[in-house]
Amino acid sequence: MTDSESKLISPQKAKTGANSKPIIIWRVRLIQVSLLLFFCLILGKTLYLQIFQAKDLKKTALNQKRLSNLTTIFRGEITDCKGVALAIDTARFNVILRPSNYKASIGQTEQLSKILGITEERIDTLRNTKNKFVKLASFLSREKADEIAKLRIAGLQLDPVNSREYPHGKLAAHLLGFVSWDSSGQAGIEQVLNKELTNAKNESSKVFMRGDGQPLIKYASLKPIINSSFGQQVELTIDSKLQYKIEQILDSGIKEFKAQRGTAIVLNPKNGEIMAWANSPSYDPNFYGHYSPAQTVNWAISQIYEPGSTFKVLTVASALNLGIIKTDYKYIDEGKIKIGNKVIYNHDYKAGKVKEIDLAQLFRFSSNTGAADIGLKMKPEKFYEQLKKFGIGEKTGIEIPGESGGVLKDYKTWREIDIATTSFGQGSVAVTPLQLASSIGVIANHGEWVQPHIIKSIRSADGSKSIKQTKIIKRKVISSRVANNVSDLLAQSIKDNLEQDITYMAGEIPNYEVAGKTGTAQKYCPKIGHYCPGETIASFIGYFPAQKPEFLILVVIDTPKEAGGWGNTVAGPIFNRIGETLVNMYPDRLSKIH
């Protein structure tokens, strides 16, 4: 290369070399700053997430990893007053197979087949399905579930489920109610205390899940049941042994008198505790689906009837309390009484038969005309108000769903005939059996109405802690003097019948004086719009010992076909059998009276 060529090229080379170095440094610095800023952003974001959002992110992560549903909730026990279990939850297990995770040896599959009672071929078919999970078995016993857990088969899951069982079958079915397929109470105590019996407050252990929704467990285990939620225990006032005997007596009576149905209530008049309450026919809550709604409903609180002559007790007590009559009341009974264009007859009316009766005889002969005479002496408003105080036309507040308040038509609509018929329990009044029992309980309890109840207490799941005790609710209805006078009259009427009429059965309990009243009411038929020809509702209500009652018994028999359909010949014998049972079962309570 010549010198002239060298001079021409050199300046350009020199220029390029001088400028390249600043350009390279500038680019490097730009990249370094960008990386530093990016690093600072990552660091800042990390610090922000770990410090300021740690709590929320942790909660979100746990929610994503766990099942949202609680583990199995086992309903609390329902027991009688002595701790005998009437309703219990038994742990059962569903066996779930997850094909994508399932791994079992030939020996394990063989044992699994024997435990479940299905063929190995069937298991192989199910394990090769494309489903995420397959149910192999339902409601396995704890023993079989334990055997499966010991096999330690991967991809096999044991899910605990509750199975509600009633160990005594039909016993107290209408009081207990039943539980539907989704473990919710549908009737009786099961329904009204569903929240307490489930008590789903504590969130017990949840099962960890993978992103694909499959559990993060390798082998089937029984651990989930340990962390399950258990409901509170409910203690009832009934005595299961007495309940069993009363149900037997009632069932036998229904068959004997060929009746449509019946109910029997045993009540402690002093504190309102229901000791036994039987309905016949009944049902088995273990198999409630086999029965119609008409069979599972407790008609003794949901349906009403005209009480008939048992209501005369309240009419006489009302008139005495209002001062309209005195205990020396007398009435010339002609067997019939004309009111307007209507005529009221006694059940034993005979033309020309006239007699003077007192209050005890009014009860003994069950005089409709005598009761009507007393009713007509009271001002409608006062009579109505007094009946309301007895609880007529009002719900008792019993802890069983579906209670009817009965019927007591407004006194402003009453005609003279309505007052008269109401006085002996027909026409403008209708009650539930429980409502009548609690109102007559006023007489037995020396003038105080006590709210009937069937729940004694609610306790913690393990029974160690009392959560709630039922409070006894009372109110004064009539004076104790009037109540005691009516008790004396009722006891005298029973005594006179037992002594003078050998065909009379009601109220005969050896060694004890009974205060009570029969009832034989015409049965109203809505379909035909008037009383059913030849059909009655027979009843007897009484308590003993008459002066210091320990037990009040009501027996109501719907449409008996034998023994004339009368209260004394149908309900009376059943009452007597129940009374004798109480004497034999509770000698200590009665011995305190003597």
| pLDDT of the chain, 594 residues: tens digit per residue | 444 444 444 444 444 454 556 667 877 777 877 888 877 888 777 777 677 676 776 666 655 544 444 456 788 999 999 999 999 988 788 898 888 888 888 898 899 989 999 988 888 888 888 888 888 888 888 888 888 888 888 888 888 877 899 999 999 999 999 998 878 899 999 999 999 998 755 444 444 454 444 454 455 555 444 445 678 999 999 999 999 999 999 999 999 999 999 999 999 999 999 999 999 999 999 999 999 988 999 999 999 999 999 999 999 999 999 999 999 999 999 999 999 999 999 988 887 788 999 999 999 999 999 999 999 999 999 999 999 999 999 999 999 999 999 999 999 999 999 999 999 999 899 999 999 999 999 999 999 999 999 999 999 888 888 899 999 999 999 999 999 999 999 999 999 988 876 565 788 999 999 999 999 988 877 777 778 888 999 999 999 999 999 999 999 999 999 999 999 999 999 999 999 999 999 999 888 765
CATH, range 87-165: 3.90.1310.10
Q: Note the pLDDT of residue 360.
A: 96
Q: What is the pLDDT of residue 196?
A: 93
Question: Mind giving me the DSSP string for 178-192?
Answer: -B-TTS-B-SHHHHH
Q: What pLDDT score does 407 carry?
A: 96
Residue 474 backbone phi and psi in degrees, to 5: -130, 160
Instruction: Please tell me the predicted confidence (pLDDT) of residue 594.
Output: 57
Q: What is the structure's pLDDT at 503?
A: 60
The residues facing 99 across adjacent strands are none
Coil, strand or helix at 143:
helix
Closest among 107, 36, 88 to 461, alpha carbons compared: 88
User: What b/e readout covers 375-412, taking b as 16+ CB neighbours within 10 angstroms?
Assistant: bbebebeebbebbebbbbbbebebbbbebbebebeebe
Helices and strands per DSSP (H, E), number in the chain: 21, 22
Q: What pLDDT is attached to residue 459?
A: 92
What is the DSSP code (8-state) at residue 231? P
Q: What is the DSSP string of 34-77?
A: HHHHHHHHHHHHHHIIIIISHHHHHHHHHHHHB-SS--PEEPPP
Q: Is 435 helix (H, G, I), strand (E, B) or coil?
A: helix
- What pLDDT was estimated at residue 15? 45
- By the 10 Å C-beta count (0-12 exposed, 13-18 middle, 19+ buried), 71 is classed as buried
pLDDT at 20: 56
Please state the pTM of the whole predicted model: 0.80
Reading the block at residue 248, the tokens are 């037997």
Q: What is the 3-state secondary structure (H, E, C) of 272-340?
A: CEEEEEEEECCCCHHHHHHCCHHHHCCHHHHCCECCHHHHHHHHHHHHHHHCCCCCCCEEEECCEEEEC
Q: Are 300 and 270 in contact (CB under 8 A)?
A: no
Cα–Cα distance measured from residue 139 to residue 159, given in angstroms and rounded to the nearest whole number = 9
Beta-sheet pairing, 156-165 with 85-97 = antiparallel
Sequence spans of domains, the chain:
87-165, 240-591
Assign 589 to helix, strand or coil. helix
**Sheet bearing 274-280, strands edge to edge:** 274-280, 261-267, 551-558, 530-544, 515-525
Residue where the block lists tokens 């009688």: 80
Residue 266 near residue 275 (C-beta atoms within 8 A): yes
CATH number of 240-591: 3.40.710.10
Tokens encoding 8: 């021409």
3-state secondary structure of 489: helix
Rounded to whole angstroms, how far apart are CA atoms 408 and 385? 11
Do 92 and 143 contact (CB within 8 A), yes or no? no
- Are 220 and 148 spatial neighbours (Cβ–Cβ below 8 Å)? yes
pLDDT at 403: 96
- pLDDT at residue 57, as a whole number: 65
Q: Which of 20, 556, 483, 519 is nearest to 260 (CA)?
A: 556
Coil/strand/helix, residue 523: strand
Token pair 């029969």: residue: 518
Which residues, including other chains, have CB under 8 Å from residue 94's CB and lie 6 or more apart? 135, 137, 138, 139, 140, 158, 159, 161
What pLDDT, on a 0 to 100 scale, did the predictor assign at position 501? 63
